Amino acid sequence: MNCGIRPGHAGASIAGPHCLDKPGGVRIAPDCLRNYGLSAFLPFSNFHALPVMRRAEQKVSFVGMLVWRTIGAPCGGSGRRFLLDPLLLMVLAVPIASAQKKVDPIEAQVEACLGTPTGQTTAGMTDCSHKAYLAYDRRMNDVYQRTMRNADPQSRMLIRNAQRQWLAYRDAQRQADNGPWRADRGSMASADIEALNVDAIRARIDELNYYAP
């Protein structure tokens, strides 16, 4: 197993074997995760600097584990131990600070809604998520309009077509959500579907924000 930084990657000049690799983002060598009993974190071993808030959230949840488990983690089964690269700590600290400052007001409202006695019921959960969806829908429209105003003519046409098809997909998905399959799923299906709808529209907002300058 090679836990070291492979030749040609950024950071290859760092001396000695290392469990940390930086090929354009921040990458934790998968074998090191497996060796140290952290296989559950393999999906998050690659961090790329995309302007999507959820990637910052992944870094926030992951960095504590990195500091705790990677400092002194054995690489390659050699028994030698290496400290976490100070430069990497700085790289990880930047998104953590920005993530902590950016509190989504809609998400905060959802948390507050779910924290009420009514929000603890199935109907209440569904209602909280639906209110969040409506708020995100308004945000999506605002982001879309801003994106269209600032895009060049060809990009406007492409983004407009993509948005129309996304809306068509959303409508088709709603029909599927209300199909006969729900008959034996119980009342929690409504809350689950609303939560999935919120996830979907948040992802679309992220995409539209990526187009915007």
pLDDT tens track of the chain, all 213 residues? 444 433 334 333 333 344 544 444 444 555 655 555 555 555 544 443 343 444 444 444 444 544 444 444 444 444 444 445 555 555 555 555 555 568 899 999 999 999 999 999 999 999 999 999 999 999 999 999 999 999 999 999 999 999 999 999 999 999 999 999 999 999 899 999 999 999 999 999 999 999 987
- Residue 83 CB: number of other CB atoms within 10 A? 10
- Residue 174 CB: number of other CB atoms within 10 A? 11
User: Which pLDDT value is given to residue 213?
Assistant: 72
User: Which pLDDT value is given to residue 90?
Assistant: 55
Are the C-beta atoms of residues 60 and 22 closer than 8 Å to each other? no
Interior/surface letters 190-212, b for 16+ CB within 10 angstroms, e for the rest:
bbbbbbebbebbbebbbbbbebe
Phi, psi of 160 (to 5 degrees): -60, -45
* Residue tagged 């600032």 (tokens): 150
The pTM is what?
0.56
Our CA dihedral for 57, 62, 63, 66, rounded to 10 degrees, sits at -170
User: What spatial distance separates the first Cα and last Cα of the chain, rounded to whole Å?
Assistant: 43
Coil/strand/helix, residue 6: coil
Give the Cα separation of 203 and 197 in Å (integer).
10
